[in-house]
Amino acid sequence: MAMIRLAAAIAIAIVLHFGALAAHAQETTVVPKRVIYPGEAIDPTMLSRVNFVPRPSLTTPIAMTPQDLEGKVARRTLLPGRLIPLSFVRDAYMVEPGKPVNVIYVHGALTISVTGVPLQPGSVGDLIRVRNVDSGAVLLGTVMSDGTVRVGTT
């Protein structure tokens, strides 16, 4: 009878010990409250915080806080209550195809500015093609944080 009590006490101690470890392993993350469709900007009001226990099989980086998704746009459909892999979101485009932008060339003291039309969307830092509206020439430039496209040397 003493052996049964000892075995039961050990079993309870093991359960309590591993239960405590599991409680410490819990983390907080964010999940959508509703379906978020591709191309839709993500707003913090669309998200809710939930607790989850990370698994070793989860190797994809996921959004843990609303700040991880600030200024992002969904690449794929995000389902309510599901984790959000960071590969499912992208930065919002600073320039859109067909919408005129200032194209700037800077070399030393020389600055040339023309109007161009992006041929592809771009986020800050992206290298995109832009058509000069006056000459029709296609230029390759970098999208800047102010919405302009810088071409040539700096």
For residue 146, the model assigns a pLDDT of 92
Burial class (CB in 10 A: 0-12, 13-18, 19+), 141: buried
Q: Rounded mean pLDDT of 70-78? A: 93
pTM: 0.64
The pLDDT value given to residue 2 = 64
Residue 121, CA distances (Å) to 40, 52, 125 in order? 15, 36, 12
Q: Is 144 exposed, middle or buried (0-12, 13-18, 19+ CB in 10 A)?
A: middle
84-141 pLDDT, tens digit per residue, is: 999 999 988 999 999 999 999 988 899 999 999 999 999 889 999 999 999 999 999 9
Domains of the chain: 25-91 (3.90.1210.10), 101-151 (2.30.30.760)
Please indicate whether residue 53 or residue 153 has the higher confidence score (pLDDT). 53
Q: Is 106 exposed, middle or buried (0-12, 13-18, 19+ CB in 10 A)?
A: middle
**pLDDT over 90 percentage in the chain:** 64
Residue carrying structure tokens 């469709």: 37
Average pLDDT of the residues of the chain = 86
What pLDDT is stored for residue 3 in this prediction? 63
